[in-house]
Structures are given as structure tokens and as C-alpha cells.
Amino acid sequence: MSSRLLGIHVLLIATAGIVAGCAREPGASCRARTGAGQSDRFRYIDELGSTSRVEHTKGPSGVEAIHGVTEIVSSQGRTTHIEERARLDSSGRLSWAEISGAGVGTSALDRVIFDAAAGLVRIDRAGQTLEWEVPTGEPWAYPAPLDQEGRPVVTPVTAWITLRATLASPDVRVLYPDAQRTEVVPRDQLAVPTELGTTVIIGDDGADMDTSGFVERVRVASLGTTLAVTTAPLEVLGLPCR
């Protein structure tokens, strides 16, 4: 990893580690406020035992850092582990993201890095690295990662990045790393206002945003399941909510 990417990676880890002053609020597993900004922690569950844990930190300047760990359990009992880290600028555009885990492709060692600031996508797969240049005129979004059987699995982090992109620009550039192609999509094809908030559409999957300000649920069509946020006193990303 280049020194530039490493520096962003360290920043994400630092901002995602804010743990002081937690307080229970509706729709969120835990909320913390410090001088560095506000950090919200969420946990999502379904009836099959799948979980998704997300920490979303917004700094005073409006820059956002997101860390998500999603573990999808299929009806056959297989578990797919997907980890996402992302940084959004103050306008809501994705500036950097890293996705790793079996959900990215066919190998548990797969990793994709989206460096929107440099217009570059890096794919690490099976010991090989591929770099791909992408236009940066529109904000970036990426499709739902894949589970071990190649089925798309939308995550709260993926949904949030897509939503923020639609709020930043009339058009969004959706990247498909496996095919090394992009598609510019009007935002009204990705985000639909509803009475309760907004529904984000990612392929055949959907995610609902409510008035609490983050993702309320994600509907994974390929698995016929829904991951919904819970306010139960659960640990999120290994951090106790006190």
C-alpha cells in the first residue's frame, strides 16, 4: 500500500475508535460525542444469524469515516465476512474506500481499494494486483459485494455511500471492479424519497433510511432476508456501549 493510502487508512482507524460518552438513542446502538466530532454505532441482525456492525463518525468539518463488518449466514449455514472502511468528504462524495473479505470475489484474500481522490481503483486478488483508472467528474459508488456463492449482498455501508453520492450530485458513477467498467446513473434511479425517509436501490437490493439519519434496514433480495437495526445493548465493533 502506498504511503498516501496508508495515511488515510490510519486516519480511518483513529476516527473509528472514538468511544467516549456513549448514550442510547432510538435507531442507534450507541452514540458518542467528543471534540473530534460525533460517532454513531449501529448493529443490524436478521433471523438467520447474520449481523452487520457499523461505526459512522462525522467530524466538525463534515468529513465522514465509516467502518463496517458484515457477516452473512446463508440458509446452507455458510458465512461470508465482508469488511468495509470508507472516507467521505464534506460534500458527501466518496474519497477513499477499502473492501476486503470473501464477499469481494472468490478468494478470502480479495481486496478492492477505491481512491477517488486519485481516480484509481486497485484490485488485489490471488496474489496479483491490478490498477484501473476511473473518471472523477461524478461521485463514486460501488455495487453490493458478493457472498461466497457469488450472490450480491448489500451492506449498510454500501447503501450509505450510495445515498451520500446521490445527495452530492445529479449523477453518480457506479463502479464494477470485476468487469472494470463504470456506469453513470441519474440519482433518481438510485434514491427514491418516501414518507419515512429515502429508499436506496442497489441492483435488486434495497435499503431504507429513516429520520434518525442513517440506514434503518437493508433488504438482501438474493438471500431473501432483511438486516434491520437493533437498539439492544450489544457490542458494536468490539466496543461496549455504556
Domain assignment present for residue 84? The answer is: yes
Residue 17 has pLDDT above 70, yes or no: no
Q: Would you say residue 236 lies in a domain?
A: no
Residue 151 scores a pLDDT above 90: no
Any domain includes 238: no
Most confident among 5-9, 92-96, 110-114, 221-225 (mean pLDDT):
92-96
More confident residue, 128 or 43: 43
Is the pLDDT assigned to residue 138 strictly greater than 90? yes
pLDDT tens figures, 174-189: 999 888 899 999 999 9
Please say if the pLDDT value at position 3 is more than 90.
no
- The verdict on residue 194 lying in a domain is yes
Is position 241 within any domain?
no
pLDDT at 145: 87
Q: 72-124 pLDDT, tens per residue?
A: 887 777 788 899 999 999 999 999 999 987 544 444 457 899 999 999 999 98
Whether this prediction's pTM lies above 0.85 is answered by: no
Does 124 fall in a domain? Answer: yes
- List the grid coordinates of 71: 457477516
In whole numbers, what is the pLDDT of the chain averaged over residues? 80
How confident is the model over 200-227, as a mean pLDDT?
89
188-197 residues labelled b (16+ CB within 10 A) or e (exposed) = eebbeeeeeb
Mean pLDDT confidence for 136-161: 91
Q: Which of 59, 66, 13 is nearest to 34 (CA)?
A: 59
Find out whether 225 and 214 touch, Cβ atoms under 8 Å. Answer: no
* Per-residue model confidence as pLDDT tens digits over 46-71: 988 899 999 999 999 999 999 999 99
pLDDT of 10 above 70: no
Residue by residue, DSSP assigns the chain as: --HHHHHHHHHHHHHHT--SS-EEETTEEEEEEETTEEEEEEEEE-TTS-EEEEEEEE-TTS-EEEEEEEEEE-TTS-EEEEEEEEEE-TTS-EEEEEEEETTSSSSTT-EEEEETTTTEEEEEETTEEEEEE---SS-EE-PPPB-TTS-B---HHHHHHHHHHHHH-SEEEEEETTTTEEEEEEGGGTEEE-SSSEEEEETTEEEEE-TTSSEEEEEEGGGTEEEEEE-SS--BTTB---
Give a yes or no: residue 242 inside a domain. Answer: no
- If we measure between CA atoms, which residue out of 194, 209, 86 comes closest to residue 141? 86
Domain that holds residue 112: 3-230
Distance CA 214, CA 107 (A): 31
For residues 89 and 64, give the distance between their C-alpha atoms in angstroms, rounded to a whole number: 7
Instruction: Please report whether residue 237 resides in a domain.
Output: no
Q: 17-21, 79-83, 174-178, 224-228: which range is least confident on average?
A: 17-21
The number of folded domains in the chain is 1
